[in-house]
Amino acid sequence: MPALTLGLGCAAKTGAEASGEAGGAQPTATGATGATGSTGATGSTGATGSTGATGSTGATGSTGAKLDLPRPEIGRPEFDRRPTCPTMSWCVAPDVAAKVAVDDARTAEGCPTAVTGERGIPSRAPGPDGKKPEVENLMGDPAYSDLMLRSRVGAVQIDIATSQARREQGSTDACCYSWTTPCPGGRAFMDAEQQPVLAVTRAGQGWSEGSFTLEASPAALREAAKQWLADAAMEHASVASFSRVALELMGLGAPAELLAGTHRAALDEVRHAQTCMAIARACGAAALEPGPMSVTGPRPARFDRFAADTFIEGCVGETIAALAVQRAAKRCGSPALRAALERIAADEAKHAALAWRSVGWAMQQDPEAVRAALVARAEAFAASLDESMPDAHPELGEELAALGRLSPAQLHAARSDAWYGIVRPMLREMGVDA
Summarize pLDDT for 317-356 with one digit per residue, the tens: 999 999 999 999 999 999 999 999 999 999 999 999 999 9
* pLDDT over threshold 70, residue 206: yes
Q: How far is CA 6 from the centre of its chain?
A: 18
Single-letter amino acid code for the residue at 136:
E
List, for residues 245-304, the tens digit of each pLDDT value. Answer: 999 999 999 999 999 999 999 999 999 999 999 999 999 998 888 889 989 999 999 999
Q: What are phi and psi of 316, to 5 degrees?
A: -80, -55
Question: Over 57-75, what HEC string results?
Answer: CCCCCCCCCCCCCCCCCCC
* pLDDT over threshold 70, residue 64: no
Single-letter amino acid code for the residue at 314:
G
Pick the more confident residue, 161 or 404.
Answer: 404
Q: Are 154 and 117 in contact (CB under 8 A)?
A: yes
User: Above pLDDT 70, what percent of the chain?
Assistant: 68
Q: Are 310 and 359 in contact (CB under 8 A)?
A: yes
- Give the residue-averaged pLDDT of 307-318: 93
Tell me how far apart the 2 most distant CA atoms of the chain are, in Å. Answer: 72
User: Which residues are CB-neighbours of 281 under 8 A, at least 6 positions away?
Assistant: 208, 287
Pick the more confident residue, 116 or 213.
Answer: 213
Scanning 287-366, the segments in alpha helix (DSSP H) are 303-310, 317-330, 335-365
List, for residues 210-262, the tens digit of each pLDDT value. Answer: 999 999 999 999 989 988 988 998 899 999 999 999 999 999 999 999 999 99
Residue 106: how many CB atoms within 10 A of its CB?
A: 11
Q: How far apart are CA 198 and CA 338, in angstroms?
A: 26
